[in-house]
Amino acid sequence: MKKIRVSLRVNGRIFTLETDPNRRLIDVLREDLNFTGVKEGCGIGECGACTVLMNGKPVNSCLVLIGQAEGSEVVTIEGLKGKNGELHPLQEAFIEAGAVQCGYCIPGMILSAEALLQNNPHPTEDLIKEAISGNLCRCTGYRQIIDAVKIASKKIARKE
Ligand code: FES
Ligand code: FES
């Protein structure tokens, strides 16, 4: 198959690669660019483990063909850390709330929450539930995750 040339910005760095057009964004992120914080669960758009931000919106990277990501701005969990490697307020809050068990769903969960907080720094509980409704967690029962997003919202407000 004829390869295509794709450029995209991931976590602030521009990457240009020649690749098969039928490859998925998740595979390029994990295999070519080594952003292994992106997780694959179902591979069919059901679980949200592969969630990344694309142009500020959460997407299932298992459903995005690499050509669709041309010119886009992608953020993975690795892109949330601060300049000196410090944790993002959402990461701190997930630890404080005990919202991480096996951890497999957490990168996607945090990125969905990040998209929410960027648009609405003070969301209601219903909006938090809606924002993470595409992210399945088989360990925590969700309560601690919702609490973590509320804690992060307060942390971010204190920094403003
Ligand atoms: S791996 Fe993409 S939605 Fe499940
Ligand atoms: S912490 Fe295990 S799936 Fe969510």
> 52 to each of 66, 120, 124, 158, how far by Cα in Å?
13, 18, 23, 26
Q: What is the pLDDT of residues 109-147, one digit of tens each?
A: 999 999 999 999 999 999 999 999 999 999 999 999 999
Q: How long is the chain?
A: 160
Atom of ligand 1 minimally distant from the CA of 47: 4
**Average pLDDT for residues 148-157, to the nearest whole number?**
95
Kindly state the average pLDDT of the residues 15-31: 97
**Cα distance between residue 153 and residue 149, in whole Å:** 6
DSSP calls for 17-29: EEE-TT-BHHHII
Domains (ranges, CATH) in the chain? Answer: 4-79 (3.10.20.30), 89-159 (1.10.150.120)
The per-residue pLDDT for 157 is 84
Spatial CA neighbour of 3 closest among 22, 16, 26, 31: 22
Give the other-Cβ count within 10 Å of 72's Cβ.
18
The tokens for 26 are 């998740």
Share of the chain above pLDDT 70, in %: 99
Average pLDDT over residues 142-154: 98
From atom 3 of ligand 2, which residue's Cα is the shortest distance away? 137
* pLDDT 10s digits, 57-107: 999 999 999 999 999 999 999 999 998 999 999 999 999 999 999 999 999
Question: Is 3 a pocket residue for ligand 2 (Cβ < 6 Å)?
Answer: no
> Is 80 a pocket residue for ligand 2 (Cβ < 6 Å)?
no
What's the CA-to-centroid distance between 138 and ligand 2, angstroms? Answer: 5
Question: In the numeric block, which tokens belong to residue 87?
Answer: 């944790």
Ligand 2: atom nearest CA of 102 is 2
Query: Which run of H or E residues covers position 64?
Result: none
CA 127 to chain centre: 17
pTM to 2 decimal places? 0.96
List the beta bridge partners of residue 17: 6
